[in-house]
Amino acid sequence: MTSAIVMPKLGLTMTEGLLASWRVGPGDDVQTGDVLFVVETEKIATEVAAQGPGRVERIVVSAGDVVPVGAVVATWTGEGGADQPLPEAGPAPSTDTPAAGPVDREVAPQGGGRIIATPLARRIAREGGIELSLLSGSGPRGRIKAADVTAALGRRGQVAAPAAPQTVNAAAPTSMPPGGKRRPASAIEKVVARRLTAAKQEIPHFYVLAEADVTRLLSLREELNTAPDAPRISLTHFVVAAVGRALARMPEMNVVWTEDCVEELHATDVGVAVDTPRGLLVPMVRNVAALSIDATARTMSAAVEKTREGRLAAEDLAGGAISVSNVGMFGASHLVPIINPGQSSILGVAAVKPVFRPDASGAPALRQEAGLVLSCDHRVLDGVKAARFLDLVTKLLQQPLALLRA
């Protein structure tokens, strides 16, 4: 029986996705778990796998198209298809991402005022040379969606795919030295590269540094980890707990810049940078200020496991104003991180090192300190707020008993 393969809903707020690439073609036999295509949303590239064995009959949507959730992208014979009306037969779209050319900017004008558009729509518009101010959005309150941008491209005889970003004065590719090789970047690598490049170019970063005395914290951690039934506590767990509590005490840090306005967040969500074979991903730990240190450890461990197994949904990466990235296990003295797009700050944590500091009597005392660097978005934060916040985080780490309870 022929059934439909549809664009999946990968998160609670997802309404459309960019079908980045096909991994199969018409006539291909697939087994359960085989990757069919890659979907790119605003924050992540996700591989969509077959839910059962079958054969791909027809590709309905070309690579590079923006597709609404639930829309048919292909038909197949086998198990795991969706009960959807099948489209009429027509020319098979290409499974290769098409190249885009120049575009005419004269599109139906939108009324004056602030432009409301999804990040994916903004990216496609920027890469395709479309002025968002000239578009009418089909979303709530006139919000411009990715489909609106691709429709404008199509009306001007343009393919519905984002143009490859133009590089100014780019050097020609050089020949590889002996023993070297080139490989195609994965979908996730492309998303990370594009987002972090945009973040560094568009976000005015500034940095605040501090040294946190974690001598008492490390002693407390060692004692906590002797309990047989309790989760293993790490320095990162304490740092995330401290950041969550600092956000609760300083809500002026829990803000992000979005579409020419400042968005004030209420939940004390904290992102955690996780290294995976597919690249660096940042899942969110929700409502950290309401969690005990044990609950923080369990929640973070589950998020890290889910990330490394490739089971993240778009919702797992959404939200939050701040993230934590710890490279201390690699011996780095300091980390100056790039702000995760959509957030306003990130805390880099470095290795713990022994130092001598004068005690109350002036005598040298051996202490354990970790280097902290807070990267901030100057559009919504200033040096005074950032310094106060980092000082609060440092003091919480120096008095770790306050982090044990919710």
Each residue's pLDDT tens digit, 229-286: 889 999 999 999 999 999 999 999 999 998 778 999 999 999 999 988 777 889 999 9
The structure tokens listed for 78 are: 């086998």
Whether the predicted pLDDT of 380 surpasses 80: yes
Q: What secondary structure does DSSP assign to 19-54, as a single string?
A: EEEES--TT-EE-TT-EEEEEE-SS-EEEEE-SS-E
Percent of the chain with pLDDT over 90: 49
Q: Which domains does the chain have, with CATH numbers?
A: 2-78 (2.40.50.100), 203-403 (3.30.559.10)
Is the pLDDT reported for residue 301 higher than 60?
Answer: yes
Residues forming a β-bridge with 347: 324, 374
- pLDDT of 311 reads 80
Q: What is the mean pLDDT of residues 141-155?
A: 75
- Report the distance separating Cα 203 and Cα 353, nearest Å: 32
DSSP designation for 74: E
What span, in angstroms and rounded, lies between the C-alpha atoms of 282 and 296?
16
Compute the average pLDDT of residues 11-15. 68
* Dist CA 274 CA 302 (whole Å): 12
- At 39, the pLDDT band (50, 70, 90 cuts) reads confident
pLDDT band at residue 124 under the 50/70/90 scheme: confident
pLDDT at 393: 98
pLDDT at 81: 55
Question: Beta-carbon neighbour count of residue 143 at 10 Å?
Answer: 15
CA–CA dist 22, 57 (Å, integer) = 14
Q: Is the pLDDT of residue 119 over 80?
A: no
Question: How many other C-beta atoms are found inside a 10 Å radius of the C-beta of residue 342?
Answer: 21
The residues with which 103 forms a beta bridge, in sequence order, are: none
Q: Return the pLDDT at 123.
A: 72
Axis-axis angle for helices 383-398, 235-249 (nearest 10): 130
pLDDT in tens, 271-280: 999 988 777 8
Q: Is the pLDDT of residue 354 over 90?
A: yes
Query: Residue 120 and residue 148: Cα distance in Å, rounded?
Result: 11
pLDDT of residue 17 exceeding 80: yes
User: Active site residue: 237, 266, 334, 378, which one?
Assistant: 378
Q: Report, as an integer, the average pLDDT of 202-228.
A: 96
Beta bridge partners of 143: none
Residue 321 has pLDDT above 70, yes or no: yes
Strands (E), 327-383: 345-358, 364-377
Instruction: State the DSSP code for 343.
Output: -
Compute CA 195 distance to the chain's CA centroid, rounded to the nearest angstrom: 8
Q: What is the pLDDT of residue 93?
A: 54
pLDDT of residue 104: 33
**Rg of the chain over CA atoms, in angstroms?**
24
The pLDDT of residue 174: 61
Task: Report which of 268, 206, 20, 204 is spatially closest to residue 123, judged by C-alpha positions.
Answer: 20
Assess contact for 254 and 243: CB atoms under 8 A.
Answer: no
Of 98, 101, 70, 75, the C-alpha closest to 86 is 75
Residue 108, pLDDT score: 38
Helices (H) and strands (E) in the chain, counts: 8, 18
Q: Can you spell out the DSSP letters for 245-302? A: HHHHH-GGGSEEEETTEEEEP-S--EEE-EEETTEEE-PEEP-GGGS-HHHHHHHHHH
Average pLDDT estimate for 17-27 = 89
| pTM, entire model | 0.69
- 16 SS3 class: strand
Distance CA 336, CA 195 (A): 17
CB 95 within 8 A of CB 63: yes
With bands split at pLDDT 50, 70 and 90, how would you rate the model's confidence at 166? very low
* Band (23; pLDDT cuts 50, 70, 90): very high
Position 125 pLDDT exceeds 90: no
205 catalytic, yes or no? no
- Between 242 and 134, where is the model more confident? 242
- pLDDT tens digits for range 72-118: 999 989 765 555 555 554 444 544 444 333 333 333 344 445 677 77
* Mean pLDDT computed over every residue of the chain: 83
Structure-token match 């309990």, residue found: 227
pLDDT value of position 217 = 97
